[in-house]
Amino acid sequence: MTLPLVSIILPTQGRRQSLLTALRSALAQDFPSYEVIVVDDAVDGAEWHRAPEIAACLADPRVRRVPFGQGRGCAAAKNAGLRAARGQWVCYLDDDNTYLPGKVRGQLQLAEASGSPVVLCGMEIQVRSRRRRRQTGENSFAGDDLLLRAVPDTNVIFHRRVADGWWDETVGTVDDACFFQSLVARFKLQRVPNVPEALVIYQAHTGARANRGFERFYRGQRLLITRWSGGYSRQARRVLLLRALVAFTKYHQGQWVPLLSRGCALLGAGGWREWRVLANAVGVKLPVVRRWMVT
């Protein structure tokens, strides 16, 4: 049997409607050699896979369902997918997000043309009726930009599969940034190419997310700062720390003085580009606009 060139790992806890959309977007890729590994992490005994439309997708020969059902977080589910993957290259798709046509082909072509073992791509974030595009004007990221400007969301990471490259299961939110930095360190990358167009639709909804929660966010940010930022400049590490402090403050009621103080320090350290971090924190703390923010 010919092995697939690319493995798409899709963890799910059984959200039927969003999973169906995600799965269909993966199967619509215009690329002849890939597999879709659906990691079934439902822990409540739900037999979502028997729903007719989903069962039809799972019957596609390119799809394999991997029972997992341990509920230990997205990193653990993605590692289960990696253990089952057969492709030379790997990418990921959350069950509430969507690939646009040409996503897999575009990233693989860039990886092969550049010789890089890791590439990124742009994404479109949708919050209700709002649309915002990220990293669609950059052909690559290098130096401190790999830490501060690249957006290594799970759904845009595309990398060569390695035998001992795993997601850190001790963190929750920020696990994708930590995993990306582990790839940068492993391959000793000074530059990571990027497909400068939106190839992923990210749904920033307010419903359940496997890794949502302040404690998970804190663990992830701490690991990113203490373990994975050491290879960057002192200035970049300071900006990252101030971003984390601003983000921590936004999750607590009140604390406007610390938020504004840290926000001003962030703008001083990182310049005008950091205004979005401060604006997001202020927006999350204001109930009237919170529903429009990515939290």
Q: What is the dihedral of CA 35, 21, 13, 44, to 10 degrees?
A: -120
What does each of the 295 residues of the chain score in pLDDT, given as a tens digit? Answer: 689 999 999 999 877 778 999 999 999 999 999 999 999 998 776 678 888 899 999 999 999 999 998 888 899 999 999 999 999 999 999 999 999 999 999 999 999 999 999 999 999 998 777 788 999 989 999 999 999 999 999 999 999 999 889 999 988 789 999 999 999 999 999 999 999 999 999 987 555 555 455 677 778 888 999 999 999 999 999 999 999 888 888 777 667 888 888 888 988 998 888 888 878 777 776 654 555 455 4
Global pTM value: 0.90
Q: Which pair of tokens denotes residue 106?
A: 């575009």
Residue environment code for 61-71, b if the CB has 16+ CB neighbours within 10 A, otherwise e: eebbbbebbee
C-alpha pair distances (Å), 269 with each of 226, 235, 263: 19, 7, 10
d(CA 24, CA 54): 9
